[in-house]
Every structure is written in C-alpha cells, then in structure tokens.
Amino acid sequence: MKNKILLLLFLASICDIALGEGLITSFGIQPDAPISGEEIEVFVDLAAGPYVETTSSSIAGDQVLVTFVQDGLDLSPNPPHSASVSIGALPAGEYDLTITVEHGADESTVIETAFGVGRFFSVPSLGTWALILLLSLTLGIGVYRAHKNSASLS
C-alpha cells in the first residue's frame, strides 16, 4: 500500500513538472465543431501562475500555432484563470494545432492536438414565385378533391 502511495505521489509530481508552473487544466477550441467561415478561438485554462498578457497565433497550411505567455499580473498565488486567442475563420479541412504556454524565460508547455473544420452546406430554398405556385397547386388539388367528394355524395 505504501508503494502505491509513493508511486501516486511520484506520478503527480511528474505531471506537475510536465505541465509546468501554469498547470494547464484544460484546453481546446470554441466552438467545439466549427464550420468554414466561423470565427475560431483557442483557449487554455490555467490553475496557477501569472496571468497571460501576450498571445500570438500563426497559420501555415494545415498547421496552427498558438502561443500564450504568462507575463501578466502575478499576485502569487493567482486564482485559476483562462486565456484565449482568436485565430479567425478557416476553410474546411483537418488542422494540426500546437499550443505553447510559456511560464517564464526557460519554461514552457507544448500541447499538440488536431481538429476539423466542417463545410457549410446551404439548403436550397424556393423563390417567392415557386412558393406561390406550390401553394396554388396545393389549394387547387384540395378544392378539386372537395368538389369531387361533394359530387359523389349527391
């Protein structure tokens, strides 16, 4: 039992080192399932460390690089906080996203993930004249059936 507790503490310390001082609790994009032409935002939620003041992003082909720098206000300890950056709208396709959170001059955390942007399909709609014609045909058929039913009852 003691070995399991020591192993758990060791794994927890590795996770803290891997995530760095910023302790990233979650990350991702908003909206969750973007479509082409829709504004996309990349976010990180941080459990501690200085606030993020500097952000940058770049897009080259299907590679999206986003950097968050924890160079803002530091109240030590800071409460959990979030940071986000807009990367704009992207055409439909699959993208590789690299998020870097810089925690100081020599310390950073890099997260690599992928996301997809769907196509926007417009639903064809009927014009005004087509709707009037459809309505007229529907009413005409209804009147015809009503007349036919009344004639068969007589």
Other Cβ atoms within 10 Å of 72 Cβ, number: 14
Domain extent listing, the chain = 2-117, 124-154
Cis check for the bond before 91: say yes or no (omega within 30 of 0): no
pLDDT per residue as tens digits for the range 6-29? 333 344 444 443 444 447 899 999
Distances (CA, A) of 70 to 16, 42, 150: 16, 16, 81
Sole residue written with tokens 């807009």? 86
- What pairs with residue 43 in β-bridges? 28, 84
User: What's the rounded mean pLDDT across residues 78-102?
Assistant: 93
Dihedral sign for Cα atoms in the order 86, 34, 108, 7: positive
Would you place residue 31 in the very low, low, confident or very high pLDDT band (cuts 50, 70, 90)? very high
pTM of the model: 0.64
